[in-house]
Structure 1
Amino acid sequence: MTKIAVFGAGTWGIALARLLAANGRDVTVWSAIPAELKSLSTTHRHPNLPGMELPAAMHYTADIAEACTGRDILLFAVPSPFVRATAKKAAPHIPEGQLIVDVAKGVEDKTLMTMSEIIEDELAKAGRKARVVALSGPTHAEEVARDMPTAIVAASADEDAAKAVQKVFTTPTFRVYTNDDRRGTELGGAVKNVIALAVGIALGLGYGDNAKAALITRGNAELSRLGIAMGCKAETFAGLSGMGDLIVTCTSMHSRNLHAGMLIGRGKSVEEAKTEVGQVVEGINALPAACRLAKQYKVEMPIVQAVEAILDGKLEARSALMALMGRSLKRE
């Protein structure tokens, strides 16, 4: 039986843990918060995933050494701001050549590393190497938890590692594709959250479907330009982890980034919006890195820069979005 440890007891980690356990995998969930583990182990439910029941066979631990020992796969599902700290804590206990899957989405502001690169960086400091695969795509936890049809991408330059993840994670309702563009896959998962903030702001201002479609489409153009400049493959951004993830994050009311943007568009401060959403808003965390990458690679990203101006209080939301409409005319 395939043994998997899931780091993180948030909605995405627990939705995947349930999916894996329900399909015959031996699953252990690790969390740094003992109260989370106690609640999950006694109620077999997650407060933010109504209607989902966790298999009784799942295990729980607050001991990271135990979580790392004897596992076929380690699944990193902590929010992006905590990936480095978790990887650092786990690194001394991770065996050489371990297969690791990361599902957190973001780019670290200080280093401009993706989440997989952060994990590799912390392992290197501990003198270890691992096979790290990014698993990303249009995947709301609320739907995966209810076994609704979903498609996702396992990305790694190591084809055997990507195929191993594909085999373990695929179920009748969860279809996994592979590609070899891990950086492009992760970049799509991070920057799409910033575009979703822009869409949410537009909706909060009362704009309609035309504006939404324009921001999604032109947002994908910005993402593609940046990715190609960084050496990623253009086709990645037309696929599940690019346009697919962008569509679901910019159109679904499950989306925390869309929700936060709508609140900001209605006049809430960034902190008020974060508090009301009640969960990590990854687009706010990814924004500084996206802006720095655009500057470093000399890529024009007006939507991302407009979101930055709004969140920094440099421009009122309506003025910033209308400024996008007033830019010089050009060929698509």
Structure 2
Amino acid sequence: MTIAILGGGAFGTALAISMGQDRPIMLWARDISHLAAHRESPRLAGVKLPENVTITAEIGAASQADIVLFATPMQSLATFVAQIDLPLTAKALVACCKGLDLASLKGPTDILASRWPDATPAILTGPSFATDIAHGLPTALTLACADEGVGTSLQGALSTSTLRLYRSTDVVGAELGGALKNVIAIAAGIVIGAGLGDSARAALMTRGFAELSRFALRMGARSETLMGLSGFGDLVLTCTSDQSRNFRHGLSLGAGAVPDPAQTVEGIATAEAVLKQAIRFGIVRQMPITAMVAKVTQGQIGVAEAVQNLMSRPLKEE
């Protein structure tokens, strides 16, 4: 199977490096000047793209691939797919982003399915950093596709010697686990940045996972998916490592510093989108951490007030 990756950012390039070790890969980016000149991403300095990777700025070439991976930020995915005119009927389309679209409240596979209804959407998600994948460090991800046959085919086609993919048909669970963990990671960063300690972070992660699970199960996810790589696994990684952009954003907020505006922080828009969904389904009272993250990141309340609001909630059973 031929594979095209749309998106020359850190994650798309890392996937091309891993998958291109032993198979041909087409990597598309809007600006290929640095990639073509140096065969490496400035975000992954020192890691060269394999010879099997063809770099192109001609997006039409993706229509020749059997599998197309969309490695674009979540909040730009809908605009991106609306702007490109590609005949992708009967192909497997794999989203490689995490979150909910703020405008439509859709997940990435729904956005792909709306644009190409005759294609088969899937999502690749789980605990991973681009630099780890690019350097060939062992990484395990979830490949979720509602069509079990296509999912099995994708699992074989996209796995590498260092990138192990576990298959699932629970697309909703895989999407929501990957989306909501970013919200909780911002909260975890706030806790550490504010000097509240590791015990507070552990409590936040535990209650955050309970909150994530309540919301995802209400949306139709399966509990075993949430306990897997795309849920619990990704939550642990992003809440405990400063490689996580969402965690670092929270860290800055908690410390009273100005977060880096150049960083893509998917958890900000996701918190707002999830809150809208929670209000729609009448479960907003069960989403206190998400609500506080949305208010803090939008500047509606300060960190001290958010902590006070969470700590003063009525006592209850676990």
TM range (shorter): over 0.9
SS in structure 2 opposite 1:231? coil
> How high is the sequence identity, in percent, across the aligned residues?
38
1:67 equivalent in structure 2: 62
Which residue identity is paired with 1:85? T
CA contact (8 A) 2:268 2:294 kept: no
Shift of 1:213: 0.9
* Structure 2 Cα separation of the partners of residues 289 and 105 of structure 1: 13
- Residue 20 of structure 2 corresponds to 21
RMSD: 1.3
Kindly state the Cα deviation for residue 211 of structure 1 after the two structures are TM-superposed: 1.1
1:84 pairs with 2:78: yes
Judge conservation of contact 1:19–1:145 (CA < 8 Å) in 2: yes
User: CA deviation digits over 1:237-256, x for unaligned, max 9?
Assistant: 11110010111011111100
User: In the alignment, is the contact (CA less than 8 A) between 1:274 and 1:281 conserved in 2?
Assistant: no
In structure 1, which of residues 208, 230, 233 is the aligned counterpart of residue 197 of structure 2?
208
Return 5+ residue gaps in structure 1 as ranges.
none
Segments of structure 2 that go 5 or more residues without pairing to the other structure are none
Q: Which amino acid aligns with 1:74?
A: V
CA contact (8 A) 1:61 1:67 kept: no
Any runs of at least 4 consecutive aligned residues in structure 1 with deviations exceeding 4 A, and if so which? Answer: none
- Contact 1:230–1:297, Cα closer than 8 Å, also in 2: no
Residue type at the aligned position of 1:322 = Q
Residue 281 of structure 2 is aligned with which of 297, 304, 312? 297
Give the letter aligned to residue 132 of structure 2. Answer: E
Q: Kindly indicate whether residue 170 of structure 2 is the aligned counterpart of residue 181 of structure 1.
A: yes
Offset, 1:298: 2.1
Does structure 2 retain, via aligned residues, the 8 Å contact 1:154–1:162? yes
Say yes or no: does 1:112 pair with 2:105: yes
Task: Rate the CA distance shift 1:86–1:225 in 2: closer, same or farther, 3 A.
Answer: same
Name the CA distance, whole Å, in 2 between partners of 1:242 and 1:293. 19
Q: Could you tell me how far apart the structure 1 residues matched to 2:108 and 2:306 are? A: 30
Partner amino acid, structure 1, of 2:19: L
Alignment map for 1:1-332 (pairs within 5 Å): 2-22=1-21, 24-32=22-30, 34=31, 37-68=32-63, 70-90=64-84, 92-124=85-117, 129-268=118-257, 272-275=258-261, 278-299=262-283, 300-332=286-318
Cα deviation per residue 1:200-258 (whole Å; 9 max; x = unaligned)?
Answer: 11111011111111111111111110011111111111111001011101111110000
Structure 1 distance, partners of 2:145, 2:52, is: 31
Q: Separation in 2 of the partners of 1:193 and 1:274?
A: 16
Q: Distance in 2 between matches of 1:293 and 1:247?
A: 24
CA distance in 2, matches of 1:115, 1:26: 25
Tell me if the contact between 2:142 and 2:166 (Cα under 8 Å) persists in the aligned partners: yes
Which one is further off, 93-102 or 49-58? 49-58
Q: How big is each residue's C-alpha offset from its partner over 1:251-273, in whole Å with a ceiling of 9 and x where there is no partner?
A: 111100000111111113xxx41
Distance in 1 separating the partners of 2:88 and 2:296 = 45
Q: TM-score, normalised by structure 2?
A: 0.96
Give the distance between the partners of 1:80 and 1:249, measured in 2 at CA: 17
SS of the residue 1:51 aligns to: coil
Once the 2 structures are TM-superposed, how far is the Cα of residue 175 of structure 1 from its aligned partner?
1.0
The letter for the 2-side match of 1:301 is M
Within 2, Cα distance between the matches of 1:198 and 1:221? 14
Task: State the alpha-carbon separation in 1 of the partners of residues 47 and 139 from structure 2.
Answer: 16
Are the aligned partners of 2:23 and 2:52 in contact in 1 as well (CA < 8 Å)? no
Q: Secondary structure at the match of 1:273?
A: coil
Question: What's the offset of the Cα at 1:19?
Answer: 0.6
Q: Deviation digits for residues 75-111 of structure 1, max 9, x if unmatched?
A: 0001112211222233x42232111111111101121
Aligned length: 316
